[in-house]
């Protein structure tokens, strides 16, 4: 049975480097997840995507508990000394229960929080209270049908044409998290026919904005995505996020932070799978002894626990670098994301294998017992793909290691 196994991290992970206020945020997040997400997480993971399936209860509950205030400065948010580190800990706690809700949180509270740091003060005053309370849903849109890993402005087909008092946006974005219920979207556009890009805050209720049907995916069912089409949408000049023409910098700054958040999500997912595996090794008997007595699995899980220790330390180091003012925290951010998300997949595969047929099932009908490994296994895969495919991140690391003159 999956529910409520002991957390091995409470016994073997030592939070000796975490500032006290950040440790308190972790406790707050763990309580919020237990109250607002855990009771519905299994059902969210299984339901087919639709507009009605947006996980409002969990979304609003996490916001009301204070999770959405964590990344922001006062007077809007919590005003923490280490907002990025704390936000990543919240992400890890959410991912432990639901990888897809961690994706939703990452969209609202990392990608959009970072992007909106480039907004003019009066625009921030207009939108941040609603973002933090959960009354306003935000989406972040860089991907297009033919552009994602490659965001060079000339690859973008969504174009913002400058007018006297703003921009006219035309184009299509793909896979946009939260778009089916979003109030606002931050959109990366090509700046006219130049080689530059502009990031714009677009009102999802403006004339000319339409959203497609939700995509049907193998996992991350709670992270609902769809296309957004912009059909000559007017955007006022003061909704440019950063100076017009500097949008790629705005987008890459947000994605650099998002990648650390996804590293934290990978750690949460790996931790959940490890805990289920350990519980099974301690309780399942075969050949007259516990499964955990087999040295094969002892060695395997000792290795995975070691990797998990490293992955957590890596994302926390990258987050602290960001809190100290580094815009991208490379190479640690790419190392953390690629390492932690690969580990999430490796650990999900091992934990499923340890469960045998029970790992492959979500329910055994004869007994009504439910199992979570198939959910974790399906959900983990996207972590290696979005917010910088892991192969792209290896390139980022190699550039620093070998030099861009050689790697390109």
Ligand X SMILES: Cc1cc2nc3c(=O)[nH]c(=O)nc-3n(C[C@H](O)[C@H](O)[C@H](O)COP(=O)(O)OP(=O)(O)OC[C@H]3O[C@@H](n4cnc5c(N)ncnc54)[C@H](O)[C@@H]3O)c2cc1C
Query: Nearest distance from residue 45's CB to ligand X, in Å?
Result: 13
User: What are phi and psi for residue 192, nearest 5 degrees?
Assistant: 60, -135
345 binds ligand X per the rule CB under 6 A: no
Q: Which is nearer to ligand X, 77 or 103 (CB)?
A: 103
C-alpha 386/C-alpha 144 separation (Å) is: 13
Give yes or no for a contact between 256 and 327, defined as CB atoms under 8 angstroms apart: yes
Residue 400 contacts ligand X per CB under 6 A:
no
Residues numbered 193 to 222 that lie near ligand X (CB under 6 A) are 217, 220
Q: What radius of gyration do the chain's Cα atoms show?
A: 21
| CB of 371 closer than 8 Å to CB of 378 | no
User: Per rule CB under 6 A, is residue 301 in the interface with ligand X?
Assistant: no
- Angle at Cα 263 formed by Cα 323 and Cα 200, nearest 5°? 65
Q: How many residues bind ligand X (CB under 6 A)?
A: 22
Alpha helices in 47-162 (DSSP H): 56-65, 83-97, 99-106, 112-116, 121-133
End-to-end CA distance of the chain: give it in Å, rounded. 50
Among the listed residues 108, 223, 271, 345, the single contact to ligand X using CB under 6 A: 223
Nearer Cβ to ligand X, position 102 or 132? 102
The verdict on whether 387 is a catalytic residue reads yes
Choose between 137 and 273: whose C-beta lies nearer to ligand X: 137
> Sign of torsion, CA 21 25 30 34?
positive
Binding part of the chain for ligand X, among 24-32, 200-208, 321-329, 381-389 by CB under 6 A, reads 381-389
382 is a contact residue toward ligand X (CB under 6 A) = yes
Least Å from the CB of residue 317 to ligand X: 24
Instruction: State in angstroms the smallest separation of the CB of 130 from ligand X.
Output: 19
Q: Phi/psi zone of residue 325: left (φ > 0), alpha (ψ -120 to 50 degrees), beta?
A: left
Residue 108 makes contact with ligand X by CB under 6 A:
no
Any idea how long the chain is? 408
Q: Does 229 help bind ligand X (rule: CB under 6 A)?
A: no
> Which range touches ligand X (CB under 6 A), out of 32-40, 175-183, 203-211, 317-325?
175-183
* Shortest spacing between CB 364 and ligand X, in angstroms: 29
Min separation Cβ 139 and ligand X, Å: 6
What tokens does 386 get? 């979005």
Position 107 contacts ligand X (CB under 6 A): yes
The single-letter DSSP state of residue 143 is: -
Listed ranges 143-151, 277-285, 301-309, 340-348: which one lies at the site for ligand X (CB under 6 A):
143-151
| DSSP reduced 3-state for 246 | strand
DSSP 299-340: HHHHHHHHHHHHHHHHHHHHHHHHHTT-SS-TTHHHHHHHHH
Instruction: Using DSSP, state whether 341 is helix, strand or coil.
Output: helix
Q: Which is nearer to ligand X, 141 or 265 (CB)?
A: 141
User: Which residues from 9-28 bind ligand X, rule CB under 6 A?
Assistant: none
Number of Cβ within 10 Å of residue 7's Cβ equals 16
Report d(CA 185, CA 80) in Å as an integer: 26
143 binds ligand X (CB under 6 A): yes
Residue 63-102 contact track with ligand X, rule CB under 6 A, x = bound? ----------------------------------------
Per CB under 6 A, 395 contacts ligand X: yes
**Which residue ranges make up the site for ligand X (CB under 6 A)?**
107, 140-143, 148-149, 175-177, 217, 220, 223, 225, 382, 385-387, 389, 391-392, 395
Write out the catalytic residue numbers: 387
């Amino acid at each position: 049975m999956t529910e409520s196994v002991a957390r091995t991290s409470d016994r073997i992970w030592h939070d000796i480097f975490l500032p006290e206020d950040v440790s308190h945020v972790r406790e707050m997040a763990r309580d919020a997840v237990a109250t607002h997400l855990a009771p519905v997480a299994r059902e969210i993971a299984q339901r087919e995507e639709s507009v009605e399936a947006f996980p409002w209860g969990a979304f609003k509950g996490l916001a009301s508990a204070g999770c959405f205030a964590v990344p922001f400065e006062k007077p809007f948010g919590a005003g923490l000394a280490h907002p990025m580190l704390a936000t990543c800990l919240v992400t890890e706690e959410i991912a432990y229960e639901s990888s897809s809700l961690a994706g939703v949180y990452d969209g609202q509270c990392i990608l959009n929080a970072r992007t909106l740091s480039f907004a003019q003060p009066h625009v921030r005053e207009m939108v941040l209270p609603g973002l933090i309370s959960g009354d306003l849903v935000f989406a972040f849109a860089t991907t297009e049908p033919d552009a994602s890993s490659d965001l060079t402005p000339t690859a973008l087909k969504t174009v913002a044409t400058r007018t006297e008092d703003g921009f006219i946006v035309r184009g299509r974005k793909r896979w946009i998290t939260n778009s089916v219920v979003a109030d606002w979207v931050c959109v990366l556009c090509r700046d006219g026919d130049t080689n530059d890009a502009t990031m714009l805050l677009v009102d999802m209720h403006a004339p000319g904005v339409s959203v497609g049907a939700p995509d049907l995916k193998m996992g991350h069912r709670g992270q609902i995505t769809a296309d957004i089409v912009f059909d000559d949408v007017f955007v006022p000049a003061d909704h440019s996020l950063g100076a017009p023409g500097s949008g790629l910098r705005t987008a890459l700054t947000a994605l650099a932070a998002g990648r650390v958040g996804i590293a934290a999500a990978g750690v949460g997912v790996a931790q959940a799978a490890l805990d289920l595996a350990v519980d099974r090794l301690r309780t399942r008997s075969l050949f007259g002894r516990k499964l955990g007595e087999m040295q094969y699995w002892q060695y395997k899980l000792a290795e995975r626990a070691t990797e998990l220790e490293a992955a957590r330390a890596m994302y926390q180091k990258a987050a602290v670098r960001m809190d100290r003012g580094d815009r991208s925290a490379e190479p640690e951010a790419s190392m953390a994301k690629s390492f932690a998300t690969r580990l999430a997949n490796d650990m999900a595969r091992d934990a499923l294998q340890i469960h045998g047929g029970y790992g492959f099932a979500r329910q055994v009908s004869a007994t009504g017992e439910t199992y979570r490994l198939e959910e974790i296994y399906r959900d983990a895969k996207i972590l290696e793909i979005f917010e910088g495919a892991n192969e792209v991140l290896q390139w980022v690391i190699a550039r620093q290691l070998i030099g861009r003159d050689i790697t390109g």
